[in-house]
Amino acid sequence: MEGHRPDFRDIKSFEEFNRYYWYREELSQICKYLGLEYRCTKKELNHIIE
C-alpha cells in the first residue's frame, strides 16, 4: 500500500490516479467537480474519470 494519497487536483494522470483506492462517494465528488455524470456505480464512475 502506498503512503498518503494526494489530493485529486494534484494527480497528473489516470495511471497515477489508479494507484490509489477511492470510495464511490469520493469518485462521485470528483465527477461532480469535473462537471461529469456522478450518479452511477463505482465502476462506471471510474470509467467516466478515465
Residue range 15-43: average pLDDT?
Answer: 96
Q: Which domain holds residue 20?
A: 13-49
The predicted pLDDT at position 3 comes to 60
DSSP secondary structure, 1-50, as one string: --SSPPPGGG--SHHHHHTS---HHHHHHHHHHHTS--SS-HHHHHHHH-
Asked if the structure places residue 19 within a domain, the reply is yes
Decide if 47 contacts 14 (C-beta within 8 A). Answer: no
- 31 Ramachandran zone, left/alpha/beta (phi>0; psi -120 to 50): alpha
Asked if the structure places residue 4 within a domain, the reply is no
Q: What is the pLDDT of residues 8-21, one digit of tens each?
A: 999 999 999 999 99
Residue range 39-46: average pLDDT?
Answer: 96
Closest CA to 31 of 16, 44, 12: 44
Name the domain count of the chain.
1
